[in-house]
């Protein structure tokens, strides 16, 4: 099975130290994939997808952190369902807002594909540098209800001031996928009541990405995606949209 390892170096001129295993799959029954790593000062934050290979096993969004520049790592944690239910969560994405100096108040936000209400996007946010996380909340909503369709490939950005932006792809039954945006202005305590479709064409919009930005010194997010708005599925173009 695949596992998650990390290695750190104190500077660019020094070779990394010996690698450290992060996941705790000592029995070899979990596939750990798609790690995402972000660093602020001496804190390193890591998420990955963990899929059980055991009978009736589930899949989870996992998290671990280092508070000393990667020299040592804390124990892995399940973010999507800390009570250890059998769940189906995939493709976690990670964003960090450093906020004030130091790392004790880092805002660490994780979003992932979650199948507890169909296929949705859920998120969990820490306001204390990854020491604790709030309960997972659904990000994808249509008039407050779970979104219909096959939702996948979430990405998340932290724009500062408590503003978070999550983008994802949603493919309706017998339809083409489109790019959507959901936002929070209170550090993930609540999310938009209705998702916003970002592309405007009849063709598919694929694999949206998002980065934090500023507009007139206020938090904003810029998203991009591959767009086949002519409907031909040939020669896609890159489109961008600004949310602020």
For residue 168, the enclosing domain spans 75-243
Q: Average pLDDT of 184-204? A: 94
Q: Is the predicted pLDDT of residue 5 greater than 80, yes or no?
A: yes
Residue 175 domain flag: yes
Position 129 in a domain: yes
C-alpha 158/C-alpha 215 separation (Å) is 14
In a domain, 52, yes or no: no
55 domain residue, yes or no: no
CATH classification of the domain holding 237: 2.120.10.10
Q: Is residue 2 part of a domain?
A: no
Backbone angles phi, psi at 7, to 5 degrees: -140, 150
pLDDT band at 84 (very low <50, low <70, confident <90, very high): low
Round to whole Å and give the CA distance between 61 and 3.
14
Is residue 54 over pLDDT 90?
Answer: no
Whole-prediction pTM: 0.94
C-beta separation of 183 from 191 below 8 A: yes
Task: Please give the mean pLDDT across all residues of the chain.
Answer: 94
Q: What is the pLDDT of residue 93?
A: 99
Position 12 in a domain: no
Q: What angle do CA 76, 138, 136 make, to 5 degrees?
A: 30
Identify the DSSP state of 1: -
Report the number of distinct structural domains present in the chain.
1
The helix/strand count (H/E) of the chain reads as 0, 17
pLDDT digits (tens, 9 = 90+) for 125-139: 999 999 999 999 999
pLDDT at 24 over 90: yes
Average pLDDT, integer, range 116-129? 96
* 67 in a structural domain: no
pLDDT band at 229 (very low <50, low <70, confident <90, very high): confident
Distance (Å, whole) CA 241 – CA 64: 32
Beta bridge pairs of residue 35:
none
In a domain, 51, yes or no: no
Average pLDDT over residues 67-76: 96
| Segment among 1-5, 8-12, 108-112 with least mean pLDDT | 8-12
CA distances from 187 to 24, 106, 170 (A): 30, 11, 24
pLDDT at 198: 95
């Amino acid at each position: 099975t695949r596992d998650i390892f990390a290695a750190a170096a104190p500077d660019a001129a020094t070779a990394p130290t010996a690698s450290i295993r992060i996941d705790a799959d000592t029995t070899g029954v979990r596939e750990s994939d798609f790690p995402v790593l972000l660093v602020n000062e001496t804190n390193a934050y890591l998420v990955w997808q963990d899929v059980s290979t055991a009978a009736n096993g589930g899949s989870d969004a996992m998290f671990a952190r280092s508070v000393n520049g990667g020299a040592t790592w804390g124990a892995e944690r399940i973010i999507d369902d800390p009570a250890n239910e059998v769940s189906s969560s995939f493709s976690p994405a990670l964003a960090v807002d450093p906020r004030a100096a130091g790392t004790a108040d880092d805002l660490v936000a994780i979003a992932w594909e979650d199948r507890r209400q169909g296929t949705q996007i859920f998120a969990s946010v820490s306001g204390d540098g990854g020491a604790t996380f709030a309960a997972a909340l659904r990000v994808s909503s249509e008039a407050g209800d779970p979104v219909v369709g096959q939702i996948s490939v979430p990405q998340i950005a932290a724009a500062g001031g408590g503003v978070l932006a999550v983008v994802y792809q949603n493919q309706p039954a017998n339809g083409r996928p489109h790019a959507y945006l959901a936002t929070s202005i209170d550090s993930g305590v609540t999310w938009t009541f209705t998702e916003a479709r970002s592309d405007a064409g009849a063709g598919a919009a694929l694999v949206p990405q998002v980065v934090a930005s500023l507009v007139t010194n206020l938090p904003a997010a810029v998203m991009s995606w591959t767009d086949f708005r002519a409907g031909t599925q040939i020669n896609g173009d890159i489109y961008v949209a600004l949310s602020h």
